[in-house]
Structure 1
Amino acid sequence: MSQDSLNLTDLKTLKRLGRGVRIFPMVKIVKGEVVEVDDGSQIDDFTFINGGTGVRIGKFNHIASFVSVIGGGELVTGDFVGIATGARLITGTHHYGDGQRICPLIPAEEQCVIRGKIVLEKDVFVGANVIIHPNITIGEGAIIGSGGIVLKDVEPWTINVGAPVRVVGTRPKVKEPPK
């Protein structure tokens, strides 16, 4: 752990903290008791993570500045995932289809909130300012281009751009180093 990381008291609230993890001092983590960060990962300043029902960050992930994980649901990332600056991972949101008001200031029983799970599989890259909605799986090796809005699952090893994202190409599978 580097000198410029959160103080040890803050880090002790995390459910699990792997070896060689760097969490910079201006990171804000809410509900740290359900947040796990695996070996070699880095979370840059001005990132906000709401632990919701659970956050599991894989090995060697990089979460850039100004990323937000919000909504009160669950986030799971595989190993070697990159999330670029300003991305929004929305694990929960209000639902409008049941004739209920969309206002977080009214009593909970009068709201219709959907909380879900976002899964970023191994080797995924999420570009700057991407928005990912609840209940989404982004398949292994997929790339989401800057500014994309993800409303449905994304196939492995595809390149996706737009609002909403659509497949514009594929990328080769990562070659694993010899053992």
Structure 2
Amino acid sequence: MAILSRAKIESMGFASVGENVMLSDKASFYNCAKISLGSNVRIDDFCVLSAGNGGITIGNYIHIAVFSSLIGAGKITLSDYCNISSRVSIYSSSDDYTGSTMTNPMVPAQYTGVKHDDVFIGKHVIVGSGSVILPGVIIADGAAVGALSLIQKDCKAFGTYAGIPAKFIKERKRNLLELEKAFLANLNNDAEDD
């Protein structure tokens, strides 16, 4: 994977960019002025980030794997330590599928019934490959989403969810919170040594 240079990233007009940001030269970014990137972020080949009015906010220590997409008019937030596996689709906008309205962005808005709603993904969330997250969903800190899941409703903290539509399966271990503390303490120690 070829990574864009820092100069190229800065020239793209992002709202903000942290340190150690690795963006594939094969990823696509639309409306960069509404996209904020934290530090230690990696976005792989063929990902699409298309920000609407709400924007996209990506925290620190985040990986977005190949072929994933974040799209829509509502705000999409990925909190620190998120892992978005390959082919995940996160939507903050969705057409009305009932037949009550027309669909697709080439039809004037007065004839469509697009739903726009924010999507929030908390710290330490992992989303499995091929999953779809719909507008208005909150996935609370530490939740895990199994591969090929459809997330239509909120997911509680440290819950494991899977299926179509996704259902609660079991509690997720919280050991990662202690590992986070050790990781941050080690970072601070390394910074003091420099």
**Smaller-chain TM-score range?**
over 0.9
Tell whether the 8 Å contact from 2:51 to 2:72 is kept in structure 1 after alignment. Answer: no
Tell whether the 8 Å contact from 1:127 to 1:147 is kept in structure 2 after alignment. Answer: yes
Tell whether the 8 Å contact from 2:59 to 2:80 is kept in structure 1 after alignment. Answer: yes
TM-score scaled by length of structure 2: 0.85
1:137 maps to which residue? 138
Cα deviation, residue 131, structure 1: 0.2
CA distance in 2, matches of 1:85, 1:177: 28
Corresponding residue to 1:177 among 176, 181, 184: 181
Which stretch shows the higher mean deviation, 135-144 or 168-177?
A: 168-177
1:8 pairs with 2:7: yes
1:30 maps to which residue? 30
| 2:129 counterpart letter in structure 1 | A
Structure whose residues are more often helix by fraction: 2
1:158 maps to which residue? 159
How many aligned residue pairs are there? 178
TM-score scaled by length of structure 1: 0.92
Tell whether the 8 Å contact from 2:2 to 2:24 is kept in structure 1 after alignment. Answer: no
Cα deviation, residue 7, structure 1: 6.9
- Where does the alignment leave 5 or more consecutive residues of structure 1 unmatched? none
1:105 maps to which residue? 106
| 1:54 counterpart letter in structure 2 | G
Q: Which runs of 4+ in 1 moved over 6 A?
A: none
Instruction: Provide, for residues 34-61 of structure 1, a one-character-per-residue CA deviation record: whole Å limited to 9, x for no partner.
Output: 1011011110111000011210001000
Larger radius of gyration: 2
CA distance in 2, matches of 1:26, 1:147: 24
Cα deviation, residue 116, structure 1: 1.1
Which stretch shows the higher mean deviation, 56-65 or 98-107?
A: 98-107
Give the secondary structure class of the aligned counterpart of 1:69: strand
Percent sequence identity over aligned pairs: 23
**1:33-48 equivalences in 2 (<5 Å):** 33-48=33-48
Give the secondary structure class of the aligned counterpart of 2:110: helix
